[in-house]
A = this chain, B = another copy of it.
Amino acid sequence: LTYAETDGPQQREVAALVYRTPAPYVIGITGPPGAGKSTLTDAFVAHLLERGRVAGVALDRVAVLAVDPSSPFTGGAILGDRVRMQRHSTDERVFIRSMATRGHLGGLSLAVPDAIRVLGAVGYPLVVVETVGVGQMEVEIAGAADATIVVAIPGAGDSMQANKAGLLEVADVFVVNKADRPDASSVVRDLEQMLDLGLSSDWRPSIVTTVATTDTGIAQLADALDDFAIAASETGRATTRRTRRASVALQRVLSVTLARRAHAMAQDPVFVGAVEALLDDRLDPYTAAESLLQ
């Protein structure tokens, strides 16, 4: 995992190995800060280990990746792995890893898929990817899962609103957590209404209410994922999604590779000349870039 998180030749060697083993099943969990995602993940993982199976995947262990793209510091802004999920701190069947960043220039969007494959290769049949925050990258990362859980909570109308479009698109199952709060039913109603407006899709995301702190609704969440997996497999959506994911992964590696070439180009004397022309207002950067690329 450390190699997968660190740019360099070893990252390539690891990738060459792990991408030749089957990918694990990936469940993404995303939602606004304060929605109780960690606690939900915690309770969910405990239940899955008891249950031994979810979405058609038999499991005797689970890996959790906690991803925070907004942090510029690796492991800095999120709590330590052990603090985050106390229930599992001594459980050998659960592996937890926090990820913040890999190098620069889009590193994280490569590091997370790599880490998922590493975990699959060493024998985790299921990887839960929990993203902190609701930026575009979080939605992207969570949306690249086989099944994506979007967590909403009562009283967080604004953040829900702001990200409605992005979240609606990636959600396979909605969780309304902290459902013991008085306005939980209105959140469910709002979600139902959003779903009625309906983006075209062959799957209508189910809505599960939970109180993660007391394990309430967690079994229903696992059932909802089973239902989704069956529907996804029957409609061919599972395959479509894996294909799209592979395509996006390849595009990302391409663009990051090219971005790094652009970065390296900055050492070139032609580049330096172009910068001088820009400073003297003789050239615009688009024309300059075109000549450089030629």
Q: Which residues of A contact B (CB under 8 A)?
A: 12, 15-16, 18-23, 70-73, 77, 105, 113, 135-136, 162, 165-166, 242-243, 246-247, 249-255, 257-259, 261-263, 265-266, 271, 274-275, 278-279, 281-290, 292-293
Residues of chain B within 8 A of A289, CB atoms compared: 250, 253-254, 257
- A22:B281 contact, CB within 8 angstroms: yes
Q: A16-B287, A246-B279 are in contact. List 10 more A-B contacts (CB 8 A).
A: A15-B285, A23-B281, A71-B162, A73-B165, A246-B275, A249-B285, A250-B274, A250-B275, A250-B292, A258-B262
Number of copies: 2
Contact A283 B19, beta carbon cutoff 8 Å: yes
Contact between chains at B283 and A266 (CB < 8 Å): no
In the complex the two chains form, is A19's CB within 8 Å of B250's CB? no
Partner of A135, one of B135, B242, B259: B135
CB<8 Å pairs between A and B, sample of 20: A15-B285, A19-B281, A19-B283, A20-B281, A20-B283, A23-B281, A70-B135, A70-B136, A77-B162, A246-B275, A246-B279, A247-B271, A250-B271, A250-B292, A251-B265, A252-B285, A254-B293, A257-B293, A258-B262, A258-B293
